[in-house]
Amino acid sequence: MDSTPSPSSSSPFDLVSSALERNLSRGGADAPEDPGDGRHDQILGAVSLDRELRITRCNLQAPVFAGLDAGVGSPFVDLLPPGDVPTVTRRLRQVLETGEAHVARIQRLRRRDGSELVVSLSVLPAAAPQEGLTVSLIAMATRLHLYAAETAIGTSLDIGETAQSLAQSLLAWGDVAAVDLDYAVWTGEGITGQGEGRIRLRRAALVPDRAWPEGYVTPGDDLPGDASRLLAQAVRRDDAPQAIVVPDREAVERVFGGPQVMRALVPGDRSAGVACIPLVLDGEPPVVLGVAEVWRRADLPFRDSELFDLQELVARTAHHVDLARQHQREHTQVLALQRRLLPRTGGDTVEIASVYQPATPDSAGVGGDWVNSFPLPDGRTALVVGDVVGHGLGAAAAMGQLSMEARALLSAGLAPDEVLERLDETVTLLDDTESGLAAGYSALGSTCCIALYDPVSHRMALSSAGHLPPVLLLPDGRTRPLAVRPHPGLGAEFALREPFGVHTFDTPPGSLLALYTDGLVEDPAVSIDEGIGRLADAVSAVHPWDDLQQAARRVVSAVAPARQRDDVTLLLARMIGYRKGDTTTWRLPARNDAPAAARARLSALLRHWGTADDTRDDVLLLVSELVANAVRYASGPITVRVIRTGHGLLCEVGDTGNGRPRLSRGGLLDESGRGLRIVHRLTTRWGVRWTDTGKVVWAEVAK
């Protein structure tokens, strides 16, 4: 019976491993050759390794593999050039630890006579029930090598990895390979053409990975100015980029001149030749992205056919470098936007800590997740978390627009549910289903949660649009996800439209609120409820004395999925609030004597607080005018609240009216609008916020 696993239950790599195991079973190290089996055409070999990276079985009987010492029991790394041993060993152990295959990397193997064989090396976990690794080796004909190299180079959009893949592929033609990129390419800037003397080169990749002599340019280093200029001129002779070959050390010294340039560019003291091939984008004029350099022993000069192959490989892969440059530019822009939106401070009444962890190091993992916290002018603090579907610059731009609009609306005094209603309208204007899917992101269906913390009443008001429930840790140690009624995401036109709810709850000083995006708790191995439960357990372990930023990192480390598929975002907010002795609140009837009553109470309070005479006079006049306006234009009881802050006094007067106070121009003798003009002159800032029963006019007076 065939024991091969079925495709439905195995990954493609499992099937490849099984096929290679069968190939190994048919021919071991001691297996006799059958001249009639077509082995002379074979370019595929396979080697089994145990967990100590020693060869247990191999099938390398084809003539192309002649001269390789692959005896059973010998270390696999004995087949490698010494300089490649650390890199390949690290790669083999990574596959052992993670179980993820490492496919189609260009590698050189040493023969007994000192010559080398270029192969495409793939490392796969051994097929069950075997343990260890299965390594496939494909002897590389020139055409196959060019194809495999281009395929490998195009697998990453990270510019450093792209340059490294190109350098690895170039090793098939030499002993040392380097890729030097124009500085603007390295940083992702726009490339429109370079004037003579303006090219600045930075080393992006160098192989093999080994200890190099002091002064030699390694990845991340800038080339000396003379070297950059000479290389740039060499590849742009006659105003057209073209390859050049310097055959030996004496010629290199004549071309590059000074000893500093020699130490920077020539690997070692022995005689060596170099081929310099420009990385060029076609155009009028062509644009040079950088230079690829291949060094080898002077007694092995470059043949014309080899130069042709080198030029073809570099020409085929130049567009991959440019794609990586563009991606690097987008990545830089997205990260700048993301950093701009991350919370910087929590103010005097809330302590804030946040963690943003992209799914991948490159820009494909940066996009629509955001958290923000900011003090509002009226003394409250806003906490906002949201998620735009998708990744990349488009998702980040939509995220930035929604985040900034939310901040502006909250600062204007709107309640959380009103802000979400307006964001819902914005999302429908920003995007539609077709354009969003085509761009790889969509503002439709974005989620958002807004919480407003009042440091005087120690209460939180929260509204959510399709977002996962926050987790609240109370000072007594009780931890629970907040019961927030489900609501569709923003712009969900297909869903039944319902008003956004407002949930209010107590947050005594010392309470801890966790806002997050779904990437933190979504794990294919567990349900979403279990993921939220794990988050609640991790939050409950945060001690009131813990450094909050360190605690946030610990929570993410404990809860985030082992294989992160989405961005992880967490905001922790520890409530501090105002001390009881720094606030006071009165309720007054809406009568003509209300301003006088407010002045009397406030005068006694300010004397108790030790407020300076000038400030006390300004505050008494300010509150008197606000109360008088409330009596004149509103009805019902009037609420006066005064808060002593670190930088002054915050005065609030609430009433049941719904009219908006407006500051207007007027003459000195005009009675209408006089009160607000006084308020405007006496305060550093003032504004209005709306409540369920009316409005609150607030004003801030500096000490």
**Rounded distance between C-alpha atoms, residue 639 and residue 583, angstroms:** 13
Q: Is the dihedral of CA 360, 362, 365, 367 positive or negative?
A: positive
pLDDT tens-place string over residues 228-275: 665 665 555 555 566 778 777 777 777 766 666 777 777 777 777 888
Q: Which residues fall within 8 angstroms of residue 110, CB to CB, at 6 or more apart?
A: 68, 79, 80, 81, 116
Structure tokens at 83: 């300089």
- Give per-residue burial for 174-195: e unless 16+ CB within 10 Å, then b: bbbbbbbbbbbbbebeebeebe
2 within some domain: no
Neighbours of 598 (CB within 10 A): 24
What is residue 7's three-state secondary structure? helix
Query: Is the pLDDT reported for residue 488 higher than 90?
Result: no
Split at pLDDT 50, 70, 90, the class of 416 is: very high
pLDDT tens-place string over residues 2-12: 444 443 345 55
One domain, residues 134 and 156:
no
Split at pLDDT 50, 70, 90, the class of 505 is: very high
Q: What per-residue confidence (pLDDT) applies to 475? A: 92
Q: What per-residue confidence (pLDDT) applies to 370? A: 79
Q: Which of 280, 261, 265, 164 is nearest to 212 (CA)?
A: 265
CATH number of residue 642's parent domain: 3.30.565.10
Q: Which of 331, 350, 368 is the last residue of a domain?
A: 331
Q: Which of 307, 331, 355 is the last residue of a domain?
A: 331
**Rounded distance between C-alpha atoms, residue 382 and residue 372, angstroms:** 8
36 within some domain: no
Least confident of 34-43, 378-387, 536-545, 554-563: 34-43
Q: Which residues fall within 8 angstroms of residue 457, CB to CB, at 6 or more apart?
A: none
- Tally the C-alpha atoms within 13 A of residue 535's C-alpha that lie toward its C-beta: 36
CATH number of residue 239's parent domain: 3.30.450.40
What pTM, to 2 d.p., does this model score? 0.56
Q: Which residues fall within 8 angstroms of residue 207, CB to CB, at 6 or more apart?
A: 164, 167, 168, 170, 171, 176, 177, 178
Give CA angle at 414 (632, 507), nearest 5°.
105
614 within some domain: yes
The H-assigned helical ranges of 541-667 are 548-559, 594-609, 613-633
Query: Is the pLDDT reported for residue 673 higher than 90?
Result: no
What is residue 138's three-state secondary structure? strand
CATH number of residue 505's parent domain: 3.60.40.10
Query: Is the pLDDT reported for residue 192 higher than 90?
Result: no
One domain, residues 444 and 377:
yes
Q: Which residues fall within 8 angstroms of residue 427, CB to CB, at 6 or more apart?
A: 402, 443, 444, 446, 490, 491
One domain, residues 536 and 608:
no
Split at pLDDT 50, 70, 90, the class of 75 is: very high
**Rounded distance between C-alpha atoms, residue 567 and residue 423, angstroms:** 22
Question: Residue 532's domain spans which residues?
Answer: 342-575
Average pLDDT over residues 356-378: 70
Query: Is the pLDDT reported for residue 451 higher than 90?
Result: yes
pLDDT tens-place string over residues 176-190: 888 888 877 766 666
Structure tokens at 373: 């916290």
pLDDT tens-place string over residues 617-632: 888 888 888 888 888 8
One domain, residues 410 and 390:
yes
Query: Is the pLDDT reported for residue 421 higher than 80?
Result: yes
**Rounded distance between C-alpha atoms, residue 149 and residue 431, angstroms:** 40
Q: Which of 521, 542, 575 is the last residue of a domain?
A: 575
One domain, residues 347 and 420:
yes
Q: What per-residue confidence (pLDDT) applies to 362? A: 46
371 within some domain: yes
Split at pLDDT 50, 70, 90, the class of 432 is: low
Query: Is the pLDDT reported for residue 365 higher than 50?
Result: no
Q: What per-residue confidence (pLDDT) applies to 366? A: 55
Assess contact for 506 and 517: CB atoms under 8 A: no
| Percent of the chain residues topping a pLDDT of 90 | 12
One domain, residues 273 and 363:
no
One domain, residues 120 and 168:
no
Query: Is the pLDDT reported for residue 207 higher than 70?
Result: yes
One domain, residues 325 and 356:
no
Q: Which residues fall within 8 angstroms of residue 606, CB to CB, at 6 or more apart?
A: 615, 616, 619, 620
Q: Which residue has the tokens 């995006």?
A: 517
One domain, residues 643 and 627:
yes
**Rounded distance between C-alpha atoms, residue 314 and residue 166, angstroms:** 8
Query: Is the pLDDT reported for residue 346 higher than 70?
Result: no
324 within some domain: yes
Least confident of 73-82, 149-158, 640-649: 149-158
Number of domains the chain is built from: 4
pLDDT tens-place string over residues 301-324: 888 777 887 887 787 777 767 776
One domain, residues 205 and 105:
no
337 within some domain: no
**Rounded distance between C-alpha atoms, residue 358 and residue 556, angstroms:** 12
336 within some domain: no
Q: Which residues fall within 8 angstroms of residue 343, CB to CB, at 6 or more apart?
A: 352, 354, 371, 372, 373, 374, 571
Structure tokens at 580: 């009881």
One domain, residues 152 and 287:
yes
pLDDT tens-place string over residues 587-619: 988 888 888 988 889 888 888 888 888 888 888
Q: What's the DSSP call for residue 459?
A: E
Query: Is the pLDDT reported for residue 339 higher than 80?
Result: no
**Rounded distance between C-alpha atoms, residue 371 and residue 338, angstroms:** 9
Least confident of 160-174, 388-402, 500-514, 640-654: 388-402
632 within some domain: yes
Q: What per-residue confidence (pLDDT) applies to 363? A: 42
Neighbours of 37 (CB within 10 A): 12
| More confident site: 480 or 171 | 480
CATH number of residue 85's parent domain: 3.30.450.20
Assess contact for 470 and 520: CB atoms under 8 A: no
One domain, residues 283 and 377:
no
Mean pLDDT of all residues belonging to the chain: 78
**Rounded distance between C-alpha atoms, residue 615 and residue 592, angstroms:** 25
| Percent of the chain residues topping a pLDDT of 70 | 75
Average pLDDT over residues 452-477: 91
Split at pLDDT 50, 70, 90, the class of 497 is: low
Q: What per-residue confidence (pLDDT) applies to 263? A: 73
